[in-house]
Homo-oligomer: A and B are copies of this chain.
Amino acid sequence: MERIRDIAHLSAVELRTPDLEATTDFFVRLLGLDEVRREDGVVHLHCWDDYEGFTLRVVAHETSGIGRTWLRTAGPAALERRVAALEERGHRGSWEEGAPGLGPTYVVPDPDGHLLALYWESEPYRPPERLRPSLKNQAAAFPGRGATVRRLDHVNYLARDVAANGSFLADALGARLSEQIVLDDGTQAACWYTVTDKSYDLVHTTDWTGLRGRLHHIAFATDTREDILRAADVFLDNDVFIETGPHKHAIQQTFFLYVYEPGGNRVELCNAGARLLLSPDSPPVTWTEAERAKGQAWGLKTIESFHTHGTPPVGE
């Protein structure tokens, strides 16, 4: 059966933080995003090569964690088809007016409670004069600051039932499973799904606490691995907690660096090189418990907190 391509891409994420100023400063000064809008307790930030109006919405909140995940559809009919498919399967969401610059948005929780926000209409980003780029095929001027991340890359959710959430992504959204961890008892412990030609966009990892709706991390793509090495020095001299990396994942082969932003959420900088999943029919790659235990690609042991820390935090 041919692949459904109704979701064009992951477009934005809403991050909750108990320290709005520090979190905003982290993304602006150290990651290179630009502040495009600020209201009471809500800041919208934009990545330099994002054609959409915002890439990250930071909201003041009593805890850390993730709010909405915006997904833009491939067209108006694609949006209708996905809403119909969701409702057919009993996933009832609701239509909202949408975030600034976005048209009607269908908000629906995944089985674990994370809110997905599907939309088609949007006003494209227009750079302010100070950020007018020299090249017309670029959204905004290159910031030259910190990690200079190019775009939002993926979201990694924590879920009580990984398989149920993966099936939801496949059935209701048409996402494709590219890699997974399957434990010896047959349980799917983590799954990587793609809605594009990238090898993953949406990931679910087991939440051992039994809670719902939590976040493992959000990730931003850099153009080079060197951007990530350089960012590590930036983090070092700005007292940002580096959890693990830089190193290369065995699963998906991503070059990575994980840090905690001042609000407590885990943020990954990632680079995939020229890797894409262009094959229309290659089967998912399955990793066993034993393989996962071998650690990362070049031998780094997976850090313990990777299995325990999520946001909002739970008695860590």
Residues of A within 8 A of B (CB): 1-3, 5, 8-9, 30, 49, 51-52, 72-75, 77-78, 124, 133-138, 141-142, 144-146, 148, 150-151, 153, 179, 196-198, 221-227, 229-239, 242-248, 250-253, 255, 257, 271-276, 278-282, 285, 287, 291, 297-300
Having A51-B282, A135-B236, A222-B273, one finds 6 other A-B pairs with CB under 8 Å, namely: A2-B74, A51-B278, A51-B279, A196-B278, A197-B276, A236-B298
A285-B133 Cα distance, complex, nearest whole Å: 14
With most chain B CB atoms within 10 A of its CB, the pick from A225, A227, A281, A298 is A298
* Chief secondary structure at chain A's binding surface: loop
A293-B53 Cα distance, complex, nearest whole Å: 31
With A135-B250, A137-B285 in contact, do A274 and B150 touch (Cβ < 8 Å)? yes
Q: Which residues of B contact A287 (CB under 8 A)?
A: 136
Q: Which residues of B contact A275 (CB under 8 A)?
A: 49, 150, 223
With A222-B274, A223-B274 in contact, do A297 and B135 touch (Cβ < 8 Å)? yes
Chain B minimum-CB-distance residue to A152: B278
Query: Would you mind naming 26 contact pairs between A and B with Cβ atoms under 8 Å apart?
Result: A2-B78, A3-B74, A8-B280, A9-B278, A30-B144, A51-B278, A134-B239, A135-B250, A135-B253, A136-B287, A137-B252, A137-B253, A137-B285, A150-B274, A151-B276, A198-B276, A224-B224, A224-B225, A226-B227, A229-B255, A232-B248, A233-B248, A236-B297, A243-B299, A272-B274, A300-B300
**Top 9 A-B residue pairs of the complex, sorted by shortest distance between their CB atoms:** A223-B273, A226-B226, A144-B234, A197-B197, A2-B75, A9-B278, A221-B274, A141-B237, A8-B280
Copies in the complex: 4
Chain B minimum-CB-distance residue to A147: B144
A257-B246 Cα distance, complex, nearest whole Å: 12
Quick one: which of B3, B142, B278, B285 contacts A237, CB cutoff 8 A? B142
Quick one: which of B1, B124, B133, B222 contacts A282, CB cutoff 8 A? B124
With A5-B5, A74-B2, A298-B246 in contact, do A273 and B141 touch (Cβ < 8 Å)? no
